[in-house]
Amino acid sequence: MTPRGKLILSWALVALWAALIFFMSAHAGSDFSGTGPLAAVKGWLVSLAAPAFGEDSDIVNVAAHFCEYLVFGMLLFRAVRLTVPGRPHWWGVLAAMALASAYGITDELHQAFVPGRLCDPADWLTDTLGASLGATLAAILVRGDGRREKRDGRGPSQ
C-alpha cells in the first residue's frame, strides 16, 4: 500500500471508531439490556463483575469507556504519526492524547442530550486515561518494530 493509502486508511479507521463511540454514547445502558449481541456481551460482563464489585457497580460502563478510548488512542497515534512523519514518538503520543481527550469532551457533552445519559467528568477522565495508555502502547509497539527492523537490516516502516 502506498504511503498516501496508509494515511487515508488510518484516518478512516479513526473516523469509524469515533462514529462507533458516538453511536454507543447515543444510547443509554438500558438500551443494551434487551436482546442482541451487545446486550449479550453487556450481560456477560455484568455477571463477571458483580461478584467482585457488587450488583450495583457500574464497572462495566467504566471498562467500556476505557477500552473504547484505548483503541481510539492507538488509532490516533498511528494516524498522527503518518500525518506528521519524522516527529519523535512522544510527540505522537501527546498529540493522540490531546485529540482523544478533546473528543472525549465532545462525547460527554453529547451524552448530556441523550435521555438516560449524563455528562460526567469522571467518564472524560477515564476516556483520557484509556487513550493515553493506548497511544503509549502503540508508540512502544512501533518503537519495538523499528528496532527489530534496524537489527534485521531493513529500513523502518510506517
* 80: containing domain: 3-31+58-152
Give me the mean pLDDT over the 17-33 stretch. 81
- For residue 16, the number of C-alpha atoms closer than 13 Å in the C-beta half-sphere is 9
Domain count, the chain: 1
37 domain-assigned: no
135 domain-assigned: yes
pLDDT tens, position by position, 70-118 = 999 999 999 999 999 999 999 999 999 999 999 999 999 999 999 988 8
Give me the mean pLDDT over the 2-20 stretch. 96
> Could you write out the DSSP letters of every residue in 66-124?
HHHHHHHHHHHHHHHHHHSTTS-HHHHHHHHHHHHHHHHHHHHHHHTTSTT----HHHH
131 domain-assigned: yes
* Average pLDDT of every residue of the chain: 84
43 domain-assigned: no
pLDDT, residue 118, reads 87
